[in-house]
């Protein structure tokens, strides 16, 4: 017997958190009975489970990496008809979902999967998987500003955790600086807000690494399947981060 939300996530319905929302909002039935209580145990080999009136189907797990272009919604669909990340997955028949988000104006590495447990593992706040970006910002940044970002800056939702920050490129003619920044949190628009807090607004933002997974060699707008070794490495990174003592998390690595 397994928890209902776990079975739904494993079937590729959505992430485990989203599946919990489906249950509590009355969208799931088990053996013709509406189930709204989280933690309900089911046997997927015997029980008939419906989501929005449709039976769930087990499907093979798939793990993809997309080089998301700017101006694309990180979602499987958009009611306003704008381009979404799944528009860039020709030939993928499985229903996949983004792992975390990239802003509309942010490009770069995005993982998609139909493995809800894997998605939850990578995005859970306690796991602190590093995410690395190239941020092109206004102005020529001085070393003391980088030091502030490294130590953490105050945002409206509290201090950020220490980050790894370094120069990537400097263009004095354009009055721009490209900075490599690695964060260990997943707050909304965090990188952009960090640079706004030090008076260097972001002009362009690209995620180039998610944990040990790098974007190198993948053209903009293209995707590829993750290798089994890459999936394994990401799992191990998340589990290792979760096992760290609380006092050692949120510190610069």
Which residues participate in catalysis according to the annotation?
Answer: 103
Query: From CA 71, how far away is CA 6, in angstroms rounded?
Result: 33
Residue 167: partners with Cβ closer than 8 Å, 6 or more residues away: 141, 146, 177, 178, 179, 180
Query: Minimal CA–CA distance to 137: which of 180, 105, 80?
Result: 180
Q: Beta strands 106-113 and 131-138: pairing type? A: unpaired
Query: From CA 17, how far away is CA 49, in angstroms rounded?
Result: 18
Contact 145, 130 (CB under 8 A): no
Query: From CA 210, how far away is CA 218, in angstroms rounded?
Result: 14
């Amino acid at each position: 017997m397994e928890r209902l939300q776990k079975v739904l996530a494993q079937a590729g319905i959505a992430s485990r958190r989203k599946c919990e929302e489906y249950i509590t909002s009355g969208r799931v039935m088990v053996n013709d009975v509406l189930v709204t209580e989280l933690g309900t145990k089911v046997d997927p080999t015997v029980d008939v489970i419906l989501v929005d009136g449709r039976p769930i189907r087990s499907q093979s797990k798939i793990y993809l990496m997309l080089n998301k272009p700017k101006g694309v919604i990180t979602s499987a669909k958009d009611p306003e008809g704008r381009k979404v990340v799944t528009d860039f997955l020709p030939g993928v028949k499985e229903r996949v979902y983004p792992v975390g988000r990239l802003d509309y104006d942010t490009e770069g590495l995005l993982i998609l999967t139909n493995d809800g447990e894997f998605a939850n593992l990578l995005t859970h706040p306690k796991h602190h998987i590093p995410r690395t970006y190239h941020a092109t910002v206004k102005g020529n940044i001085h070393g003391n500003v980088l030091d502030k970002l490294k130590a953490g800056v105050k945002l409206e939702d509290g201090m950020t955790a220490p980050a790894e920050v370094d120069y990537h490129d400097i263009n004095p003619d354009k009055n721009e600086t490209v900075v490599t920044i690695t964060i260990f949190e997943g707050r909304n628009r965090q990188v952009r807000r960090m640079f706004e807090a030090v008076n260097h607004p972001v002009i362009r933002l690209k995620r180039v690494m998610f944990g040990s997974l790098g974007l190198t060699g993948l053209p903009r707008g293209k995707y590829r399947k993750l290798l089994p070794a890459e999936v394994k490495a990401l799992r191990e990174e998340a589990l290792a981060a979760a096992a760290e003592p609380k006092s050692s998390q949120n510190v610069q690595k």
